[in-house]
Amino acid sequence: MPVSTDVLNSTLQDLKGPLLMSFEEKVPLFNWLKKASRTSSEKGTWIQRLLMGGSPTSGIALRNGGETFDTTRTEQVQKILIGTQRFGCAIAIPGLDLEINDGKLGAIKLIKEYPAAVIAAMAIDLDRYFLTGVSNGRFLATSECQGWNTLNGEKVNATGITGVTNGLIDFAATTAQTDTVQSLAKSTAYNYVNQYGNIVGGWAAAGRKTTTKTYRQCARYNTSGPDKGPDIMFADDDTYANIETEDRTLVRTEYVQSDIDKGIAGLHRRFLNADLVAAQNLILTDFTTAPVNGLIYLLTSSGFEKIDYKTFDISNFEDRIANQDNVVAKGLGQFALICPNMAVQGAVTGGANP
C-alpha cells in the first residue's frame, strides 16, 4: 500500500537522530569543534567575546619590604561582535512518490532520497564555504552563506549581518593585517592577528621548515600553554601529496612505513602533532592571491567556537499546499562561527609546488 504521511513521519523520527548526527560529521570543521567541546548554545541579538591584552595589573620587585603595590587596573579590553544567520528549506515529496513506494521500506527509501540528500548537499556546501568563501551551490548558493564567517580572509561579504564582512585568516604578515574582522580591526597591539608563512622554492626546499615555524608561532599565544600548538590542519590536495611524499622519504623502519601507509589510505594523517586533513573542498581556484599556490590552515580549537541558536532540525511532513500534490517538511537552523583567539590560528601558502 502507498506510504502514508504517518508512516513517513514515524520513519523520519526513527532515522532523524543518526541523519542529523551525520551532518555534523560530514562538515570536518563542525566535527572537529564538537570533539573538542567547542560548541554551545546561546541567545541574544549578537555574540560578544572579550579579548584581553596584557595583564590586569603590574607587578613590582620587593626589595626592602616598604614597597606599595600598584592597584591600578592596566588591562586593555577589546571585544569582538558578530550576528547569527538563520537558514531553512522546504523538503517536498511528490504524491506520486508516496503512491509508488510501499510501507516502511518505501518510507526509508524516500527519507534517503529527500531529507538525507538535502543534508549531504548542505554539508558539502558549508564545508567549502568555511574553507574558501565559495559554496558548491548544491543546497546553498554562495550568496546565501555569506552571513557566516569564512576562513578565507580574501573574501568581503555585504549581507548586513554584524561581524562577517571580512574573512578570518589573512595571507599576509601580521603587521600588514588591518581589516575589520568580527567587528574589530586587526592589530598586533592586542595580538588580534593570525600567523602566516609563505613557502618559497617549493615544498622540498622550505615546506616543512616554514610550516613548523608557523606552528610554533601559533603555539606561542595558546592560553593552554606554549607547548599546545594547532590541533588540526586543512591542506589542499597538492600540498597534502607533497607531505605524503616527504614522509615516505623520512621513514626508517618497515613498521613506521606501515603506519604511514594506513594514513595515506585515508584522508588524514598526523603532522607536527596535529591532525592533517586532505580537505576535498579546499579548492585553490577559489582564491586570488598566495593560496593559489597551495594552502594549509593551522587551526587551534581552543580559539574557536560554534554557537548554536537553533540546531538544524527537520519537521514532520504535512500536506501544506492545497493546490499541489506533495507533502512538505521544513528544515531550520541558526548558528554562528566565532574566533575569539585569532593569534593561535595560522596559514601557510605555497606548498602545492613540489
pLDDT tens readout for residues 236-251: 999 999 998 888 777 5
Mean pLDDT of 110-128: 93
Residue 291 belongs to what H/E stretch? none
Q: How confident is the model at residue 255 (pLDDT cuts 50, 70, 90)?
A: very low
Report DSSP state, residue 56.
S
Residue 254 has pLDDT above 60, yes or no: no
Mean pLDDT of 183-203: 95
Cα gap 191→222, rounded to integer Å: 11
Residue 262 has pLDDT above 60, yes or no: no
Question: In Å, how far are 11, 17, 101, 118 from 3, measured between CA atoms?
Answer: 10, 21, 6, 20
Grid cell for residue 244: 605524503
Residue with the bigger pLDDT between 43 and 98: it is 98
Position 43 scores a pLDDT of 80
Round the average pLDDT of the chain to a whole number and report it. Answer: 88
Q: Are 230 and 300 in contact (CB under 8 A)?
A: yes
Which of the listed ranges 46-50, 105-109, 346-350 does the model predict with the highest average pLDDT? 346-350
Residue 85 has pLDDT above 50, yes or no: yes
> 258: Cβ–Cβ under 8 A, 6 or more apart, which residues?
none
pLDDT cut 70: percent of the chain above it: 91
Q: How confident is the model at residue 42 (pLDDT cuts 50, 70, 90)?
A: confident
Distance in Å from the first CA to the final CA of the chain: 61
Residue 265 belongs to what H/E stretch? helix 254-265
pLDDT digits (tens, 9 = 90+) for 130-159: 999 999 999 999 999 999 999 999 999 888
Position 240 scores a pLDDT of 95
Residue 209 has pLDDT above 60, yes or no: yes
Grid cell for residue 324: 499541489
pLDDT cut 90: percent of the chain above it: 66
Mean pLDDT of 230-236: 95
pLDDT digits (tens, 9 = 90+) for 270-304: 898 899 999 999 999 999 999 999 999 999 999 99
Mean pLDDT of 105-124: 93
Closest CA to 301 of 270, 266, 339: 339
pLDDT digits (tens, 9 = 90+) for 11-27: 999 999 998 888 888 89
Position 258 scores a pLDDT of 47
Residue 202 has pLDDT above 60, yes or no: yes
Q: How confident is the model at residue 167 (pLDDT cuts 50, 70, 90)?
A: very high
* DSSP string for residues in 97-150: HHHHSBHHHHHHHHHHHTHHHHHHHHHHHHHHHHHHS----SSS-HHHHTTS--
